[in-house]
Amino acid sequence: MIHFPQREDIRLLSPAIATEPSETSVLPQALDVTQDRGDGMAALQIAAETGDEMAFLQAAGEIDWSHRPAADFARAVRLALAAGAHLLARNLADQGHRLHPHHEELAKMARILAPPRVVRANLPPDPSVRANLEWMRAHAAEYRGRWVALKAGVLLTSAPTARELKDQLSSTDGLFLTRVI
């Protein structure tokens, strides 16, 4: 038996939770499952608002996505990302893009959420890795909390923020840049 939050539960949502990221502009002030159009989208919205990934997956699994409009897919992907259902977001973006190949937002979603891929595998080795590692091992304690720029194991500069670090460098190309934790 799937449990979705009831009306009373939703009204208890704090303002901070009820104004979360991507759906902020389209969410009603108080969500109500009785306002569901019967298409399951309200259940997705509620699960996303409550951050309940399992409820989100269950609700999405009860929807027949084979004939859904592009807008529903795009909204479901946004909600899935807000709910933390990242694999489902990828699958919905992919399915939506295949069903609606000319929908720009779905195309973008499918592209960004697509599985990673190897672009090239025959690149030459990089000897700078160990030199930078050795510098970090020897000197990290002296620069805790700061950003550092190294080149082949040699410190070029450091700064409290990344922006200030960049301002001190003519170029960041080829440099090792990190915040020292």
Partner 1 sequence: MVLQFADGRPFALGACPYWDQLSPDPAETPRIVVAIWIGDSQTQAVVDTGGVYLVCDPEIPDLLDLDSSVRLGVATLVIRGHRYVGDLHKLTITLPAEEGESLELEVTAFVPSLDPGQEWRFPSFLGLQGCLEFVRFAIDPGANVFYFGRL
Residues that bind partner 1 (CB under 8 A): 20-22, 51, 78, 81-84, 86-87, 90, 108-109, 111-130, 132-133, 136-137, 140-141, 144, 147, 161-163, 165-166, 172-179, 181
Cβ at position 34, least distance to partner 1 in Å: 26
Toward partner 1, which CB reaches closer, 39 or 134?
134
Toward partner 1, which CB reaches closer, 4 or 139?
139
HEC secondary structure over 139-160: HHHHHCCCEEEEECCEEEEEEC
Cβ at position 69, least distance to partner 1 in Å: 20
Toward partner 1, which CB reaches closer, 1 or 123?
123
Cβ at position 119, least distance to partner 1 in Å: 4
Amino acid symbol at 125? P
In 3D space, the residue among 31, 26, 27 whose CA is nearest the CA of residue 12 turns out to be 31
Query: Per DSSP, what are the bridge partners of residue 149?
Result: 157, 177
What is the Cα–Cα distance from 158 to 140, expressed in whole angstroms? Answer: 11
Toward partner 1, which CB reaches closer, 1 or 141?
141
Cβ at position 71, least distance to partner 1 in Å: 16
Cβ at position 6, least distance to partner 1 in Å: 23
* Those residues with Cβ within 8 angstroms of residue 85's Cβ, 6 or more apart along the chain or in another chain: 53, 56, 57, 60
Cβ at position 38, least distance to partner 1 in Å: 27
What is the Cα–Cα distance from 100 to 39, expressed in whole angstroms? Answer: 19
Toward partner 1, which CB reaches closer, 35 or 168?
168
Residues 135 and 153 sit within 8 Å (Cβ to Cβ) = yes
In 3D space, the residue among 101, 50, 104, 102 whose CA is nearest the CA of residue 79 turns out to be 50
Toward partner 1, which CB reaches closer, 78 or 103?
78
